[in-house]
Structure 1
Amino acid sequence: MDASPRERDGTAPDGQRWRAAGDRIETLLEASSAGGAVARERAEELVREVAGLYGAGLTRVVELLDAGTVELLARDDLVASLLLVHGLHPHDVEARVRTALDSVRPYLGSHGGDVTLVGIVDGVVRLELTGSCRSCPSSSVTLELAVEDAVRAAAPEIEAIEAVAAQPEPAGLISADSLFSRVRSGDNAAGSWVAAPELAELVPGEVGGFSISGVPVLACRVGEQLFAYRDHCPACGHSLAGAALHRRAGYPVGDAVLRCPTCRAHFDVVRAGARLDGDGHLEPLPVLVRSGELSVAVPVGVAG
């Protein structure tokens, strides 16, 4: 894989450049195989020696820092990944997984659901999930993307993620087994994360339309929280361009209702886009900060 011009000249976002670095290293190692097994072994040995040298230096740096400073460094995605590689991260795998789950809990909560860490045994993370999908096929896909991506980013050393349902799930809730069926089968076609830094420009109460990886997206900010949906009204089938947020009379601050400018259908933005005056709901898309970049999960092959 050749580096893009933006990656070579250093103008690409840090998260993008460093994520691509691992791919380039692997590509170079594969290229060395053309010289035979011995050439490949020597290339791998060179990588190990360089990594060991920088690891020793990083260990020395961490030893000279106080705990508070190390904690601040661990909050940076790139530095945290280096600390993990060299076994220097201040938090164990369970603490990191719990923090990752906390980061996606607001999104799960917008679906009327939650996630609980059952335990981590032999590298397998076991989670208990609930979440109202309201019959929308995209909800289970995007929930899967949000949870799996957050956990694997925080704890890359884990072997697998399993979802359990300790008690029978009421009608209307996503089956935990169904939710993570793609994780177990290794199917990576559920969707992908796309950097969308432009969403950060939205101010509280503002609604904006965006095209993300060719998908029309409607995003809005309620307080400090960002919400993103496919730009498609399930009631009339039209775009939601021109829609604005409203607060219902008598409801607390944080209530946010989106009204379709075409058919006047009302949707609860904070609670998975549920329609308030009829059946149906908007199609939610997770919004998370990944490798320092605001990103949106765009599902693949899911009909609206």
Structure 2
Amino acid sequence: MTDQLELQSTELESLAERLDTAMSDADGLAADARAVFDAAVESLGALHKQGLTTIIRTLRADARGKELLFALVDDPTVRMLFAMHGLIRQPPEALARRVLDRIRPGLQGHGGDVELSHIDGSVAFVRLTGACNGCSMAAVTMRDSVESALTAGVPEITSVEVLPNEPAPAFIPLTSLRAPARGHDSGGSADQTAELTAAGWLRTLPVADVPVGTLRAVTAGAEDLVLVNAGGRLAAYVNACAHLGLPLDDAEVDADAGTLTCPWHGFCYDATTGECTSMPGAQLRSVPLRIVGADAWLRPGG
């Protein structure tokens, strides 16, 4: 199987090189000849795109066909062909992270940093740290830089919202938990509970209900979420696979590998980051998590 993949990769590189060479050679054609060449390439491309579009629409109309389509896109040759004709595009989350990676060195050079939380509609939600987080003129300038980069680099994004940084951990090491003192509420004091509730946090399950190597589906407000315990670390995500948005209730958690695998089509995620290991660019949407007493509190939409 490995030899077959290597052969396929070599053939793909050879075809790509031949195409690049032909396009480069065309630059040397006389104006009339170049016009004929461009017209032929444009017509051939339009014909291919129309045929591929019909194939994609037909496959999408059937459940089994949709599954086959996603399997086809995993093939590098098919993926390149679809991308050449603009029939697939990167998820906005992946594109946004790539944009932020480009401007990150500049932010870090001024003592700041940025993290993408999620994208909702046309709004990107980010968290700013260090010098980026504050009210100084420098901080405002860097926030404006982040917004300008995202709105210019990601067509789907038209505005950026800055989320508060505290508290906002997505992962909690369970080894840091301490058993509540006898006579105390395992969910925290009444004042602490009231403060968390006012800030939009919702109490879900006791941590003990999510043992190592398991996943539990919970509802917080109007959102369906999952709590995952991979290797003694608790994580929270929106209950939707980044592939087709199907629920992760029966996903397989591998505590040793630190992975979460969707039960529908086998998409595998790093339980620490939510990044898809089987399809780079796909990402689970993390949810802020806190442990108070012995309970897990989540902040949906945060």
TM-score by length of 2: 0.38
TM-score by length of 1: 0.38
* Rg larger for: 2
